[in-house]
Structure 1
Amino acid sequence: MEKINLAEKFDRIDAYWDPRIACELNSQHVKLVKFKGPFVWHHHENEDELFFVVKGRFNMEFRDRTEIVNENELIVVPRGVEHRPVADEEVWVMLFEPASTLNTGNIENDLTKKNLDLI
């Protein structure tokens, strides 16, 4: 039951697309991740994902459109919806998702992170 300073936590993240666990609640992880560049197209069969932009902005690409998500905005991607985050510049994102959620969903590649560190 200690407060978390997001800026301090994000300052400790030195790699892009490498989510870290900030805390856990009700079988959900609150993850912190820095985005830059394009991620991989993927979907999650069983989990919804919530992306909250702490700093910066990114594009959430869907096969039929793109949503720009700005600082202090969030977007929920429902389970089964194919998506790809893309950031032109560094962006700080907080994710809310079930602890079982794999960052690359149905795809496994060099960006897949199976064992996340607590930050």
Structure 2
Amino acid sequence: MARPDTVVNIAEKLSRVDGHWAPKTLLEANGLELKAAKLKGEFVWHNHPEGDELFIVITGELVIQLAGREDVRLGPGDMYVVPRDLDHCPVADEECHVLIMDAAGVVNTGGVTSEMTAEQEWI
């Protein structure tokens, strides 16, 4: 686990992420966790009543489908905050590397339990 005053190299951490849709926690600050993930394909529709969810695309392209709204399309260097409690479904046609920030302890599938629900793991 990264502590304050510790350098974290994003590329090195992403190289340690195996599989898709299984975010790994890099650090925690002020009650928020920063996670690295590799995404490919379509995730499950879900929401996070605990708080907003920030996506930052490092490589590739990510589409975030939003209930009742236009899809959001992100490329490298783009970021987007999915508002608390809004149903959404991330989709990546090709492998996409992202950073995700949300409240500490948030489950990646929100209140939905599926085969894509990941256990928290620190790298």
TM range (shorter): over 0.9
For residue 83 of structure 2, what is the aligned residue in structure 1? 78
1:79 partner letter: R
1:56 counterpart = 2:60: yes
Query: 2:47, 2:110 within 8 Å by CA — same for their partners in 1?
Result: yes
Identity over aligned pairs, percent: 36
Considering fraction of residues, name the structure with more strand: 1
1:92 partner letter: H
Task: Give CA deviations for 1:73-97 in whole Å, capped at 9, x if unaligned.
Answer: 1000011100000001111110111
For residue 107 of structure 1, what is the aligned residue in structure 2? 112
> In the alignment, which of 87, 97, 116 is matched to residue 102 of structure 2?
97
Task: For 1:12-91, list aligned pairs within 5 A.
Answer: 12-64=16-68, 65-91=70-96
Query: 2:60, 2:76 within 8 Å by CA — same for their partners in 1?
Result: yes
Deviation at 1:63, TM superposition (A): 2.6
Q: Cα RMSD over matched residues?
A: 1.0
Q: Residue 72 of structure 1: SS of its match in structure 2?
A: coil
1:77 partner letter: V
Deviation at 1:70, TM superposition (A): 0.9
Q: Distance in 2 between matches of 1:106 and 1:70?
A: 28
Q: Distance in 1 between matches of 2:57 and 2:98?
A: 5
For residue 12 of structure 2, what is the aligned residue in structure 1? 8
Structure 1's consecutive aligned runs of 4 or more residues displaced over 4 angstroms after TM superposition are none
Q: Normalised by the size of structure 2, how large is the TM-score?
A: 0.91
Query: 2:27, 2:33 within 8 Å by CA — same for their partners in 1?
Result: yes
In the alignment, structure 1 segments of 5+ residues that lack a partner are: none
Q: Distance in 1 between matches of 2:75 and 2:62?
A: 7
Alignment size in residue pairs: 118
